[in-house]
Amino acid sequence: MKKILFSMLIMSAIALQSQTKLYVHPDAETYVAGTKTIAILPLDTSVKLRPKELKDFTPAQIREIENEEALNIQKAMYSWFLTREKRGELLVGVQNPTITNSLLKDAGIEPLKAFEQVSAKICEILGVDVVVTGKYSTNKPMSDAAALGMAAFGFVGATQNATVNMDFIHMDNEVVVNYFKNVKGGLGSSADDLINVLMRKVSRRIPYTK
């Protein structure tokens, strides 16, 4: 009986540490079959520091940290997809973020604000079939500016907590995939580590990979 109770406690703890929700459109296979290229936008990123940490940063510095975090995650997501492509596990092409951000700027859209735009419009500007967009929040950013600042003030002991709510939106504005994940602890020390943790166990369930 004690062993059963102990196992239940362990399972509950794991569930609390990592929460995952995945929605896949009923016609996802049809959408994927007609998709040649996807583009990854910088996510709407928010950094939620504790009050003691927050007082040592100006609003402008927080915004800079959030922007750097968003761009780093965009690059890390691209690397994640490229890894699947090299393994023969990716069914579509992925646009280089440098091209994505350049095309957005040419169209008068700030890449870090692209998530505010209608996805169909962004797809047309970028010449892609699908955009990956959404929200990301963390209490312990991994950007260089944040790491240096928090270390300087001695704020290095907080448990990492990250939440991503990501949409794969087709050029017809239909959400083909929605992926939500919250993780506490064990997120590594870089954006690449973070994305690998956030995308773990779900990669084969996303219809754009196999």
Query: How do residues 73-99 score in pLDDT, each as one tens digit?
Result: 999 999 999 999 999 999 999 999 999
Q: Do residues 133 and 73 lie in contact, with contact meaning Cβ atoms separated by under 8 Å?
A: no
Predicted model pTM: 0.83
Contacts of 36 (CB under 8 A, 6+ apart): 92, 93, 128, 129
Most confident of 17-21, 70-74, 150-154: 70-74
How many domains, the chain?
A: 1
> Residue 177: pLDDT above 70?
yes
Q: Is residue 170 part of a domain?
A: yes
Residue 181 domain boundaries: 20-205
Q: Which residues contact 137 (CB under 8 A, 6 or more apart)?
A: 45, 46, 47, 48, 162, 163
Residue at 89 is within a domain: yes
In a domain, 167, yes or no: yes
- At 37-62, the pLDDT tens digits run 999 999 999 988 777 767 778 889 88
Residue 167: its pLDDT value, please? 97
CB 17 within 8 A of CB 160: no
Q: Is residue 2 part of a domain?
A: no
Residue at 4 is within a domain = no
- Asked, for residue 115, whether it belongs to a domain, the answer is yes
CATH number of domain containing 180: 3.40.50.10610
In a domain, 169, yes or no: yes
> For residue 65, is it within any domain?
yes
Q: What is the DSSP letter of 34?
A: T
pLDDT higher than threshold 80 for residue 104: yes
3-state SS, residue 63: helix
Higher pLDDT, 154 or 96: 96
Q: What are phi and psi of 166, to 5 degrees?
A: -115, 135
pLDDT, average across residues 143-159: 50
